[in-house]
Chains A and B, each alone.
Chain A
Amino acid sequence: MTTSTAAVLGLVAMAVVSLGAGLFARRWARTTSDFMVAARAVPPRVNAAAISGEYLSAASFLGIAGLVMQFGYDVLWYPVCYAGGYLLLLLFIAGPLRRFGAYTIPDFAEGRFDSPRFRRLAVALVLVIGFFYALPQMKAAGLTVETASGLPYGVGIGIVAVVVVAGVVGGGMRGITFVQSLQFAVKLFAISVPAFLLLIHFSGTGVPFARGAGGLARLTTTTNFQVTRGELWQIPAATKVHVSRPADLRWQRQAPTASSGAPAAGFEGGTGPKGRVNASRANRLHLEGVGLVPKGTITWESSDLVTVARGQPAPFGSQTPASTTSAWMGPFGPLAGGTGHPLLFTYSLIMAILLGTIGLPHILVRFYTNPDAKASRRTALLVLVLLGAFYVWPPIFGALGRSYDPSLYGSNLTDAVVLILPSQLGAGWLGQTLSAIVAAGAFAAFTSTLSGLLVSLGGALGHDVYGRWLRPASGPTARRRAFQLSALGAGLAAGALGLLVERFDISVLVGWAFAIAASSFFPLLVLGIWWRRLTTLGASVGVALGGGIATCSIITTMVATVSTPLAAFLAHHSNLAVVLAQPAIVTVPIAFGCMVGISLLRPSPSAGVSAKMVQLHAPELLGLRREYIPD
């Protein structure tokens, strides 16, 4: 592990700036409205930067590069659909939702359908999606602090939880708006400049897509791996390894099932087991000094320091299916190709991310901070520009990582490629400075998204659970106290849960939050805004079924990674496994079908629906505006 003073300095600087700016902004945040929606007094450019800052989470800053390094081309759908989802938000939601004056999804649910009961359902789903989205941010926090300073994973989570909770509890929405716009600038700088300099640095040694010798990722430096007992390695081609003391290991010829549920794909053909090993079902190997390990999968039976020389094929750890460069580079590579139904998987992934953006609870809040629908649309367009400028870069990091530091595959550290790759520029000032910059960028990424999520979660708990159900008679001060306490509680809970998800990929976790949002809130918002015949019953059943089935199938997939019988069952039913791991392609139509079907079968014409449509769609210049939120 690289322990870099510069990276630690980058982290500390960003933590101090975030805390300081948040606390400084505290003196503006006086009323509940300031706290929740920044009193609509935020200039559009600052607002657009804040939206982008909040949207570009750890999944964007670290996760995409890590996944591109692991899986190649198929991962490009993530950044493109993250940005594309924002276009859909602009097209269908931005203007009307601002006019309606609903600033959270529960507000919209209640305001559009006059149903407090429906509001509760929406609050429950906000909590589910919010926590699912907070987990990968926490993982990123632990990973970043671990990579930069060598402190344990849990300590990083603790530090970040404290910084974020302090910012949210202290400054509220108004405070974090300014912090988040600042954090966007840090993130864009921290991803683009190092990627650009790395491109220049490596341009002398060939483009990252060069067909490597034999189509394998080969180590660029002699690398020491600390392996632990039970650790699994995939060997894509016969590899010479050096063990520090005699080691026993089990060897299997066939490709294993990776943690993501995708069987390894793209093993290079033709370089079968060599030397002294027979290709029976499972073999034992004994290594002393230098030994040749044949292509296949090995499990270390003792902890050891293993050295693999420069130029040898990079071993792959359990988290990444071993792949050849050509499989990695083309469509339907190890990510989609490994599922057995690449086209189905790809379309389901596109659907989840594209449609899920609209249903993310912390994204919609931002539209209310615009003065009117026109400003809301223009802000969203500006956000698209900023997102586009950012999302070009993370895949470049991933592609550079495969060519220039494939040792990360063996140590299961691909998620940290953005943090580690700058050290390839050497121990001089440039490498040190870039390490500090990317560490600061990563810190900005997860703190800004976590802040937004905590405002949403705190709002749902403090405003709804406390302010409406537990103590409906409570005053603004009590509610504000409840918001702060809820944000604190949510931060601690997310931190505790974050300790459990170390084994999952950041972007895969985020993909799940998107899938749940796409199957519940997306149809609710689109139909609720544009289809006047949608009934409360139809909307409730659609949200409950779509969101419920998506949540259950994702939990099943998570359980399958620790339960062998379930994993074996899913391995035999690959159709089911694909759908469970990426449920949007089934659950989005279910949600839409329920909403439309039930609304048509049991129509209940509401007298107020025309007035609601006027609120949603009539231009503000007509002067018909009635704010749903009176504050």
Chain B
Amino acid sequence: MSQQPPGALEGEAEVPPSTGLLEFEEQTEVGELYLRALMRRQWRLSLGVALTFTAFLLVQPLLAWWWPEWGVLRVVGIPVAWLVLGIGSYPLLIWLGSIYVRRAEEVDDEFTDLLR
């Protein structure tokens, strides 16, 4: 199916159905299994990235609660707590987001290759 023309991306009728794809389209039990596997992989990926960032956020109030020094610590006159939360969060967000986008595309591509 690798010779599929690029124009087939938009139209449904032009896609020659393979066995995997047929199972998928007609929603047989096998197709259902394929779909569940795909959803599980994507869900785990998303959840993992989300939990990483949430943990980064949720740890900080606890840290300040148990270790009040956290709010007083300074580097070149600027409080460390401000730097970590107010500035450090954004590079972390972008980094996590780019990891996710790359991996999610890989999962989608692998799945597409599997069915075609």
Q: Which of A64-98 contact B (CB under 8 A)?
A: 73, 76-77, 79-81, 83-84, 86-88, 90-92, 95
Taking a contact as CB atoms under 8 Å apart, the answer to whether B35 and A80 are in contact is no
Taking a contact as CB atoms under 8 Å apart, the answer to whether A350 and B21 are in contact is no
A87 to B54, CA, bound (A): 10
Chain A to chain B contacts (Cβ below 8 Å), 25 pairs:
A79-B86, A80-B57, A80-B85, A80-B89, A81-B57, A83-B90, A84-B57, A86-B93, A90-B97, A90-B100, A91-B49, A91-B50, A207-B77, A330-B64, A330-B79, A381-B97, A388-B90, A614-B35, A619-B108, A622-B21, A623-B8, A623-B11, A623-B12, A623-B14, A624-B24
Taking a contact as CB atoms under 8 Å apart, the answer to whether B86 and A392 are in contact is yes
Q: Which of B8, B89, B96 has the most CB of A within 10 A?
A: B89
A373 to B111, CA, bound (A): 15
Taking a contact as CB atoms under 8 Å apart, the answer to whether A331 and B61 are in contact is yes
B30 touches A (CB below 8 Å)? no
Taking a contact as CB atoms under 8 Å apart, the answer to whether A617 and B72 are in contact is no
Checking B42, B77, B111 against A209 with a beta-carbon cut-off of 8 angstroms, the contacting residue is B77
Main secondary structure of the interface of A (DSSP, over half): helix
Assuming A346-B61, A614-B24, is B81 touching A91 (CB within 8 A)?
no
Per-residue CB proximity of B61-100 to A under 8 Å, as 1/0? 1101100101110101111011001110111011011101
Q: Which of B27-68 contact A (CB under 8 A)?
A: 27, 32, 35, 38-39, 42-43, 46-47, 49-50, 53-54, 57-58, 60-62, 64-65, 68
Contact surface of A with B, Cβ cutoff 8 Å:
73, 76-77, 79-81, 83-84, 86-88, 90-92, 95, 207, 209-210, 326, 329-332, 342-343, 346-347, 350, 354, 373-374, 377-378, 380-381, 384-385, 387-389, 391-392, 395, 530, 610-611, 613-614, 617-626
Residues of A within 8 A of B89 (CB): 80, 83-84
Checking B38, B58, B68 against A618 with a beta-carbon cut-off of 8 angstroms, the contacting residue is B38
A455 to B100, CA, bound (A): 31
Residues of B within 8 A of A329 (CB): 71, 79, 82
Checking B70, B93, B94, B109 against A331 with a beta-carbon cut-off of 8 angstroms, the contacting residue is B70
Taking a contact as CB atoms under 8 Å apart, the answer to whether A330 and B100 are in contact is no
Nearest-neighbor residue (CB-CB) of B25 within chain A: A624
Residues of B within 8 A of A384 (CB): 93-94, 97
Nearest Cβ distance between residue B63 and chain A, in whole angstroms?
Answer: 9
Nearest Cβ distance between residue A525 and chain B, in whole angstroms?
Answer: 13
Residues of B within 8 A of A210 (CB): 77
Residues of B within 8 A of A387 (CB): 90
Nearest Cβ distance between residue A362 and chain B, in whole angstroms?
Answer: 21
Q: Which of A377, A378, A380 has the most CB of B within 10 A?
A: A377
Those 8 A-B pairs whose CB atoms lie nearest each other, nearest first: A330-B71, A388-B90, A623-B15, A331-B64, A91-B46, A619-B108, A207-B77, A80-B89
Checking B27, B38, B82 against A610 with a beta-carbon cut-off of 8 angstroms, the contacting residue is B27
Assuming A347-B61, A350-B58, A617-B35, is B12 touching A92 (CB within 8 A)?
no
A217 to B22, CA, bound (A): 71
A59 to B112, CA, bound (A): 42
Q: Which of B77, B79, B97, B98 has the most CB of A within 10 A?
A: B97
A207 to B78, CA, bound (A): 8
Taking a contact as CB atoms under 8 Å apart, the answer to whether A617 and B42 are in contact is yes
Taking a contact as CB atoms under 8 Å apart, the answer to whether A332 and B64 are in contact is yes
Residues of B within 8 A of A80 (CB): 57, 85-86, 89-90
Nearest-neighbor residue (CB-CB) of A96 within chain B: B42
Residues of A within 8 A of B53 (CB): 84, 87
Residues of A within 8 A of B74 (CB): 209
Taking a contact as CB atoms under 8 Å apart, the answer to whether A374 and B15 are in contact is no
Taking a contact as CB atoms under 8 Å apart, the answer to whether B82 and A392 are in contact is no
Taking a contact as CB atoms under 8 Å apart, the answer to whether B65 and A343 are in contact is yes
Residues of B within 8 A of A613 (CB): 35, 39
Nearest-neighbor residue (CB-CB) of A625 within chain B: B12
Taking a contact as CB atoms under 8 Å apart, the answer to whether A618 and B24 are in contact is yes
Residues of A within 8 A of B65 (CB): 331-332, 342-343
Taking a contact as CB atoms under 8 Å apart, the answer to whether A331 and B78 are in contact is no
Nearest Cβ distance between residue B53 and chain A, in whole angstroms?
Answer: 6
Residues of A within 8 A of B57 (CB): 77, 80-81, 84, 350, 354
A209 to B72, CA, bound (A): 11
A364 to B62, CA, bound (A): 33
A331 to B57, CA, bound (A): 13
A391 to B94, CA, bound (A): 13
Taking a contact as CB atoms under 8 Å apart, the answer to whether A619 and B93 are in contact is no
Residues of A within 8 A of B76 (CB): 207
Checking A87, A332, A374 against B50 with a beta-carbon cut-off of 8 angstroms, the contacting residue is A87
Residues of B within 8 A of A332 (CB): 61, 64-65, 71
Residues of B within 8 A of A618 (CB): 24, 35, 38
Residues of A within 8 A of B104 (CB): 95, 377
Taking a contact as CB atoms under 8 Å apart, the answer to whether A622 and B115 are in contact is yes
A395 to B82, CA, bound (A): 9
Residues of B within 8 A of A391 (CB): 90
Nearest-neighbor residue (CB-CB) of A83 within chain B: B93
Nearest Cβ distance between residue B47 and chain A, in whole angstroms?
Answer: 8
Checking B9, B62, B108 against A623 with a beta-carbon cut-off of 8 angstroms, the contacting residue is B9
Residues of B within 8 A of A374 (CB): 105, 108
Q: Which of B100-116 contact A (CB under 8 A)?
A: 100-101, 104-105, 108-109, 111-112, 115-116
Nearest-neighbor residue (CB-CB) of B54 within chain A: A354
A385 to B50, CA, bound (A): 17
A80 to B92, CA, bound (A): 11
A621 to B70, CA, bound (A): 50
Nearest Cβ distance between residue B55 and chain A, in whole angstroms?
Answer: 12
A622 to B79, CA, bound (A): 52
A527 to B54, CA, bound (A): 19
Taking a contact as CB atoms under 8 Å apart, the answer to whether B81 and A330 are in contact is yes
Nearest Cβ distance between residue B94 and chain A, in whole angstroms?
Answer: 5
A343 to B59, CA, bound (A): 11
A138 to B9, CA, bound (A): 44
Residues of B within 8 A of A83 (CB): 89-90, 93
Nearest-neighbor residue (CB-CB) of A331 within chain B: B64
Nearest Cβ distance between residue B48 and chain A, in whole angstroms?
Answer: 9
Residues of B within 8 A of A614 (CB): 24, 27, 35
Residues of A within 8 A of B81 (CB): 73, 330-331
Assuming A83-B90, A384-B93, A622-B115, is B82 touching A76 (CB within 8 A)?
yes
